[in-house]
Amino acid sequence: MSMDLNGVYVMWLREVKRFIRSKSRIIGSLGQPLLFLIALGYGLGPVFRKAGQGNYLAFIAPGIIGMSIIFTSIFNGMQVIWDRQFGFLKETMVAPVSRLSILFGRTLGGATVATTQGTLVLVLTIVAGFRPVSLVGVALGLLIMLLMALLFSALGMVIASLLRDMQGFQLIMNFLVMPLFFLSGALFPLDHVPEGLLLVARFDPLSYGVDALRVLLLGHGVFGLAPDVAALSGTIIVFLALGSYFFTRMEV
């Protein structure tokens, strides 16, 4: 099945416009990251500092950015199920655009929205007191955010292609997204955990995104920037391939 670039652009633009029109979604999606920053950054900061680990607010800032990106990206898949239930997806499917174009367009649209959300959260962390080590690191960090957003937006599309109801999607998200977030090292340093937990974190794709952000924004990480980028890129390819397979065979 061929992919039409014009169709990809149309679907991408549709997702971006939907996000821009939803002002409540923009504001609401910033509430949870702000709560984590204030409650954990300032609440556990003194304990983290007394343990000799430095500034906890700076440490969790990349993790909070990753949290915002994964939740926003996965939500893109929930919208596919919503459209499927109310018949909007069927209208899209009968358009003179290949399913592959629809998949890639919606994935790119969801990734663009998630990257924008991540950028807004980065601004929030700076306002809260976080100081990146360099502007170059911030610019490269935006590219890492885009890779993370593409990865989890593609994962959301895979899951949405396999499910038909919102309840099932929400159940899977509770058993998938929260473990991905908490086991990624977003809230605790991975270089001071048991080997078993570190092994689990190595199979968590969010771990590599958070670690790459720490390398670029803080100047240090656990895995290294090159392995982080390689892991993110490889996982994106896998999820896009799976999404292409399931989405093109999905019944609407």
pLDDT, mean over the chain: 83
State whether residue 48 is helix, strand or coil: helix
* CB-CB contact of 51 with 131 (8 Å): no
Work out whether the CA dihedral 83, 85, 91, 95 comes out positive or negative: positive
Residue 162 CB burial class (10 angstroms; 0-12, 13-18, ≥19):
middle
In percent, how much of the chain has pLDDT > 90?
Answer: 31
Q: What was the pLDDT predicted at 55?
A: 80
* pLDDT, average across residues 78-100: 70
Task: Give the whole-angstrom CA distance, residue 32 versus residue 39.
Answer: 10
Q: What was the pLDDT predicted at 93?
A: 66
pTM recorded for the entire structure: 0.89
Tokens describing residue 153? 């937006």
| Tens-place pLDDT, residues 109-142 | 889 989 999 999 999 889 888 899 999 999 999 9
Work out whether the CA dihedral 238, 202, 143, 28 comes out positive or negative: positive
Task: Give the whole-angstrom CA distance, residue 193 versus residue 52.
Answer: 16
Q: Which one-letter DSSP state was computed for residue 187?
A: S
Q: What was the pLDDT predicted at 136?
A: 94
Q: What was the pLDDT predicted at 100?
A: 79
Task: Give the whole-angstrom CA distance, residue 102 versus residue 95.
Answer: 10
**Sequential DSSP letters for 211-233:** HHHHHHHHS--SS-HHHHHHHHH
* CB-CB contact of 149 with 118 (8 Å): yes
Question: Of the segments 29-38, 66-75, 76-85, 144-153, which one has the largest average pLDDT value?
Answer: 144-153
Tokens describing residue 10? 């149309």
Residue 192 pLDDT level (bands cut at 50, 70, 90): confident
